[in-house]
Amino acid sequence: METETLGTGQMCQAHDIAEARKGAKMLTNEQKKLIELSKKAEETKSELKILKTQIAELLNTIGVGSSFKDPIDGVVFEIVIPKGRFVDHEHIGYERTKREGERAGSLSMKRAKELGY
């Protein structure tokens, strides 16, 4: 008899597999999309965690008080100690001027001018 390991690690017999596949066909397009997006969100969370770690390492290497300008789009960055966040408090971060098409950035143009940009 055919067996298959499902995502939960359970072994299922052919009958159970057929029933599970039949149930999947009864999902609405919205339900299928939600399943797809939830999987993508979980993958993105893992990637974001890695990116945050890499950014934190770079911020510490560059150092608080440093500033620089992206030569391609002209965005100014300043390495700062964030004032705090409710959910995720980072000990070092950056503020930047707005990019083209954005309403505002976290670093004011006035401050960028004060930094010499």
pLDDT digits (tens, 9 = 90+) for 49-81: 999 999 999 999 999 999 999 999 999 999 998
Does 67 lie in the same domain as 116? yes
78 and 116 together in one domain: yes
What's the total number of domains in the chain?
Answer: 2
Residue with tokens 């999987």: 39
Query: Residue 89's pLDDT band (boundaries 50, 70, 90)?
Result: low
End-to-end CA distance of the chain: 71
Whether residue 68 is contained in a domain is answered as: yes
Token digits for 97?
A: 């001027």
Looking at per-residue pLDDT, the higher value among 107 and 88 belongs to 107
For residue 62, what pLDDT is reported? 97
The reported pLDDT for the residue numbered 99 is: 87
pTM of the full structure: 0.54
Biggest alpha carbon distance in the chain? 74
Q: Are residues 80 and 117 in the same domain?
A: yes
Residues 39 and 83 in one domain: no
41 domain-assigned? yes
| Same domain, yes or no: 114 and 76 | yes
Q: Residue 21 is part of which domain span?
A: 11-47
Work out the pLDDT band at 93, boundaries 50, 70, 90.
Answer: confident
